[in-house]
Amino acid sequence: MSIATTTQYWTSRMNGGDPSSLTEYGQDNESFTLSGSALDGSVDGESWKIVDTNGGQEWEITPTTDAYTMVLSFKYDTTPADGTVLMTLDNGTYKAHIEATGDDQTLRLVGTTTVTTPQLDLKEAAAFEPSPVMLRFTLAADGTATLYIREIIEDDDGNIKSLSVTGATGASKSIKWGNTDGTILWNNVYVTHMGAFSPDEMSTSPFVTDSLLRMGMSMVQRLKDSQRFFLKNYVDDSSIVYGFDISSDMISRIAPPSIHLILRQMDSPQFTTLGGSRIEQNFTVVIFVATRGTDYKNAYRSGMEIAGDVFDELYTTTGLLGTTDSLTNYVIQFDTKMDNDEVVCVHRLELTYMRRLNLLHR
């Protein structure tokens, strides 16, 4: 997992306005360059509408990097012809694109091979108006092109739901979207040329990326990757999880010893600059280390060893980065046996971090 850092962000954000003039969010919002007829695109309500009267429109950015991400929300007004290319990622070595199939239900992801999506409901129907489809399209430097539908990575049973192909031979670096046939309402187009990010690595909301991903998911991954003695040898990676559900029933379902990490709270008591363009954000991270044993003393001791590895790993890899993250304080509460039948020991760590954030990328 390669979660976006504090210096990686959406480099272009189109929210239904003119793609050639993305000034709504100030600095670091690169506009797109038009290829096609200027007459074939205009604002229509909350969307940028592209028609094919004079050949349609394609909007492009020329990056200098090798890994890209696009997140798009759109719907058909008039269905494009089979084979109409809707979005393309090309890093000069590898190239992949998404094209229409001629119907209102599916799209194709095309590289060296071709895969077709499940049903998407791309067009308005007389009886109802579907939510615009949401797609995430990525191209990694190694040529892996991936399509995520509605930001879903896997289903409840752990089955991978994203589609993936290897890119075909590239031509020149390009990030492109639009349509040369049919009529499409493009509601939102977010682009970054700073990496190929999954939904768990960069959210369309910088708020979510700063909090859940960078301060939650990234710490879970750090603990899984740790080479410290107890984390490496005694805690299985599948038992190190983000604590979406920390009920006793859920904790008991995961094989002990287990680690449950959750972002409990955020606050910014004082902005660093007037207007809040730069802030110092405090994050409270809570970690539960659960162990089980017939002898509570052994459960207590092994839990303390694991908690020690957790603290040492996070302190040395995240808490000492004064320019980005600082661990400002911590509290560790050690569990005590209170009932004769008690066999599970849960130690609790609470860490408070301070991070300096640039809010101008929102």
pLDDT tens digits, 331-360: 999 998 877 767 788 999 999 998 877 776
Torsions phi, psi for 319 (to 5 deg): -80, -10
User: For all residues of the chain together, what is the average pLDDT?
Assistant: 89
Computed over its alpha carbons, how large is the radius of gyration of the chain? Answer: 24
What is the topology classification, in CATH, of domain 12-192? Jelly Rolls (2.60.120)
Enumerate the domain spans of the chain. Answer: 12-192, 206-361
The reply to whether the predicted model has a pTM over 0.85 is yes
Contact 118, 106 (CB under 8 A): yes
* Residue 30 pLDDT: 92
Give the pLDDT band of residue 154 (cuts 50, 70, 90): confident
User: For residue 119, which of 130, 132, 104 has the smallest C-alpha distance?
Assistant: 104
Residue 98, number of CB atoms within 10 A of its CB? 22
Query: 36: which strand partners?
Result: 57
Distance CA 132, CA 76 (A): 9
Amino acid at position 285, single letter:
V
Same fold flag, 12-192 and 206-361? no
User: For residue 148, which of 96, 94, 198 has the smallest C-alpha distance?
Assistant: 198
Contact 66, 93 (CB under 8 A): yes
- Considering Cα of 180, then 181, then 185, then 188, what sign does the dihedral take? negative
Distance CA 54, CA 149 (A): 31
Q: Does domain 206-361 have CATH number 3.40.50.10800?
A: no
Instruction: Say if residue 123's pLDDT is above 90.
Output: no
Instruction: Say if residue 278's pLDDT is above 90.
Output: no
Q: Which of 112-116, 247-251, 309-313 has the lowest mean pLDDT?
A: 247-251
Instruction: Say if residue 190's pLDDT is above 60.
Output: yes
Instruction: Say if residue 110's pLDDT is above 60.
Output: yes
Span between the terminal Cα atoms of the chain, in Å? 23
Contact 87, 70 (CB under 8 A): yes
Distance CA 248, CA 54 (A): 62
* Residue 275 pLDDT: 60
Q: Determine the average pLDDT of the residues in 26-36.
A: 85
